[in-house]
Structure 1
């Protein structure tokens, strides 16, 4: 576990804050990123510089220059970590080439694998390595929510596609029954209590009452913040923030019920987190400070929020996107059939050649 200073840097770079346990960011170099920060903050000079550097300076690479002043034992360990990471990447690339029949990888794709380090010098960890690591993590993670939106859209379209394919295989009577059942489930899921706007006074008061067991009339924002800063570091991170939406989600989703999709529940939770962070996290460091939180409680959006548009009310994809998606699936299926056909012909040809040779 990092100190709060190291965690501040890692939290800025990472989508998911991890205390008390690490949570994988999804970056293929996540472990390397964590280990580098862990060893850097063991150096007193670097730790002091990190404490006095704002996030914009970190993003612009000013902190990376302090690498020249860290202790020899830390630099030696960083050299070792880099050599291990280079070897890991080379092993993965070799395995991928073997799996693809030994074909040479696209040069641009190959360089992409190494862009978070100076791969021209695979033996020592230099200022450029730290700068590249921070820049790569920043750029990659800034696109996290965008990528998540696209992945969820594909999930929803695939679910609808499979439903329609299932209906095609039914006779008219069973198809009508299935459509009626689907509509009943959809209405049942939509029949739930009012969903409070995430981050609003009403929503937080409900947590205060239901989770904290306190009188809503005694709601105090400062006390609320301290109660839900569960690791006591002075910030509400994204993991702590997402935990605040559990009561709202329980109104809409119940495990093991046909009408409730747990993948959609987690997407709703992330939508809520994304919305509140956009409203409250004014310095965009992916952490909510007490000052930011108290400022948000004075806004009109906190006291008189609009209604929250849930997933069931907000279409994930358009008809045109669905049409394009199904055309792509059909093309992929056609390509797969052609590939299988070609392989079968190759097999038959080899068998004929073997027969002729005997």
Structure 2
């Protein structure tokens, strides 16, 4: 369904990261769960975990709503603004009694889970005097004042919470990556301090040699260019490059056949380019940096192709992009996210303040 795609499109099985923790009350609950960082081939894409702490509840609500024919039809016709604004939530009043009953049960289970979570946190601090009901206010994905009934307010809150949390996903991932790079550089320099001068020079020499070796790689095609897509067409799809057809390419890589290329489907297209630089079998190649580069490639293509900025690429948008000069004659693409350089600069700024 389109709503499922819109709400879940931001989530990718890539870099381990945490989104901002809730700060309204003194209960430390992360908005995401840790995720693994594995390259995703297009043929292996499955329903992703959003990483949100209410991920299972979100998915279950969507699945139940999709069983109602009326609501399903409304979802198919709804645009992004209707979903985000909450207008679509009003349609909940028209779903069948059977669906409402299931939604009520899901909400009761979710409220019960949150109460258990709060109790466990309070018990760990041995604080028995706090009011569990008031602490439920920190969870903004449901209406805690009516714990037994799933109403249009609940659907509106769930959509807005998920949209808000997930829209900052890329920004958070970039920030987490910069912190990762800073820590990696810090640990390397701390290690060098433990060595004598001879060993330290030897390690520095190895480090510079590794950097040069990493920079010596085959040409990386500009993400989203004709050359890049033709390479996928030939090497991944096993088709004759002379028969390259953008419309056929789009349909081949619209893995879930929903009529869009979402962010996860786009990122899968860059695996061949990334493998020119990063080898998962080589311990010297940092897979976290590879996934940051994949994210950078996807953001670039989205900025160029996604004209209505709904974070989905339609066939029409895709075909229009293939008519541009940038598609046929792109600028060169430099590997190495700016985040890496920024992280290094920040590390130097931070270290210069140390006594």
Normalised by the shorter chain, which TM-score bucket?
A: 0.7 to 0.9
Q: 1:160 aligned to 2:185?
A: yes
Spell out the pairing of 1:176-195 with structure 2 (5 A cutoff). 176-195=201-220
Tell me how far 1:292 sits from its aligned partner: 1.1
CA distance in 1, matches of 2:317, 2:88: 25
Tell me how far 1:272 sits from its aligned partner: 1.2
Structure 1 residue corresponding to 2:194, chosen from 141, 146, 169: 169
Q: Which is greater in Rg? A: 1
CA distance in 2, matches of 1:166, 1:257: 22
- The residue number in structure 1 matching 2:274 is 249
| 1:137-193 CA-partner distances (Å, limit 9, x unpaired) | 111111000000000111111100000000000010000000001111111111101
When the two structures are superposed, what TM-score results if normalisation uses the length of structure 1? 0.83
CA RMSD of aligned residues (A): 2.6
Spell out the pairing of 1:6-25 with structure 2 (5 A cutoff). 8-14=2-8, 15-16=10-11, 21-25=46-50
CA distance in 1, matches of 2:65, 2:131: 34
Spell out the pairing of 1:313-332 with structure 2 (5 A cutoff). 315-317=340-342, 321-323=346-348, 325=350
Tell me how far 1:48 sits from its aligned partner: 1.5
- 8 Å contact from structure 2 (residues 262, 312) kept in 1: yes
Structure 2 residue corresponding to 1:85, chosen from 106, 110, 121: 110
When the two structures are superposed, what TM-score results if normalisation uses the length of structure 2? 0.84
CA distance in 1, matches of 2:129, 2:184: 36
Between structures 1 and 2, the one with greater helix share: 1
Tell me how far 1:324 sits from its aligned partner: 5.7
CA distance in 1, matches of 2:223, 2:319: 16
CA distance in 2, matches of 1:103, 1:163: 45
Aligned residue for 2:121, secondary structure, equals helix
Q: 1:102 aligned to 2:127?
A: yes
Tell me how far 1:59 sits from its aligned partner: 0.9
Tell me how far 1:36 sits from its aligned partner: 0.6
- 8 Å contact from structure 1 (residues 156, 316) kept in 2: no
Cα 1:320–1:219 change in 2 (3 A) is closer
Cα 1:111–1:325 change in 2 (3 A) is farther
Tell me how far 1:300 sits from its aligned partner: 2.1
211-220 vs 40-49, which deviates more?
211-220
CA distance in 2, matches of 1:17, 1:182: 31
Count of aligned pairs: 323
- The residue number in structure 1 matching 2:39 is none
Aligned residue for 1:160, secondary structure, equals helix
Tell me how far 1:325 sits from its aligned partner: 5.0
Tell me how far 1:314 sits from its aligned partner: 6.1
Structure 1 residue corresponding to 2:87, chosen from 62, 70, 75: 62
- The residue number in structure 2 matching 1:275 is 300
221-230 vs 243-252, which deviates more?
221-230
Q: Give the gaps of 5 or more residues in structure 2.
A: 14-43
- 8 Å contact from structure 2 (residues 226, 322) kept in 1: yes
Aligned residue for 2:238, secondary structure, equals coil
- 8 Å contact from structure 2 (residues 266, 298) kept in 1: yes
| 1:280-338 CA-partner distances (Å, limit 9, x unpaired) | 1223333222111101111222122122232267644256521465599x89xxxxxxx
| 1:87-142 CA-partner distances (Å, limit 9, x unpaired) | 111111221222334387899x9466411111111111111100010011111111
Greater relative contact order: 1 or 2 (C-alpha under 8 angstroms, separation 6 or more)?
Answer: 2
- The residue number in structure 2 matching 1:296 is 321
